[in-house]
Structure 1
């Protein structure tokens, strides 16, 4: 095995262990996972830089051939500083948690859970009262006034009159503007 392959395996191991530890509830394990993940990122940046010599010249030959790129090294220095700052912040959080609760693991807050459950129930109840008005014309729950009746089955008040006993003869005798009756057939007067 070559050196870069061993570093790739080490980087993968650091990423895997860091992510596994960050998924725990213990703040100390989250801190250790963050540190491992930061070191894995530093190895990744080093591996992307590749091999090369120091960026120095003799003053006569100013060729950059064979020199390593200084940008990844600057990025690693920046990443180290950021990792140190976040580590200090997490240590302060762990210390504060230990002073207040005498535990470094995160617990579910019952009040927060109750609020989340109430919001979920309210949103489900609100969603069930909404209606999807996809009907056209006079079939809609709130029809648009002056809309054209596309299905030629009559106006709602005519359909209600048909449903009432004794009103069938009056509804059959009337025709709407298209010359068709409530059932969509031509009326006797137009024939």
Structure 2
């Protein structure tokens, strides 16, 4: 059951992110990138086996790796979260500057004619 919930969450985040990426406003594009990165982060964590209460490091000679949690995906996701937050902040500053210069928040810099 938990696998189904996780798969649905990843699917909804990815689909919403792609839909927002295809929108004509720059803020919607930024939110789409953020949602897509959250979907990828959840996917990477899920690939590292979801185990609670298990130690993250292997010790000894005769060890069954299925009883342990892999720390690498967790470290990768933590790094991706920090980089994604900084990138989103940078994008927002660039978008605000572009809106000040062009007077529009449309992705191509001009409003469509009606």
Other-structure match for 2:89? 88
Which segments of 5 or more consecutive residues in structure 1 lack a partner in the other structure?
Answer: 110-191
Q: CA RMSD in A?
A: 2.0
Aligned equivalent of 1:32: 31
Give 1:99's aligned residue. Answer: 100
Alignment deviations for residues 60-87 of structure 1 (CA, whole Å, 9 cap, x no partner):
x734641100010011012112211220
- TM-score normalised by length of structure 1: 0.50
Size of the aligned set, in residue pairs, is: 105
Q: Which has the higher helix share?
A: 2
Q: 1:75 to 1:101 in 2, by over 3 A?
A: same
2:17 matched residue in structure 1: 18
Q: What is the Cα deviation at residue 56 of structure 1? A: 5.5
CA distance in 2, matches of 1:36, 1:14: 6
Residue 75 of structure 1 corresponds to 76
Structure of larger gyration radius: 1
Aligned-residue offset at 1:88:
1.5
Measure, in 2, the Cα distance between the counterparts of 1:91 and 1:8: 30
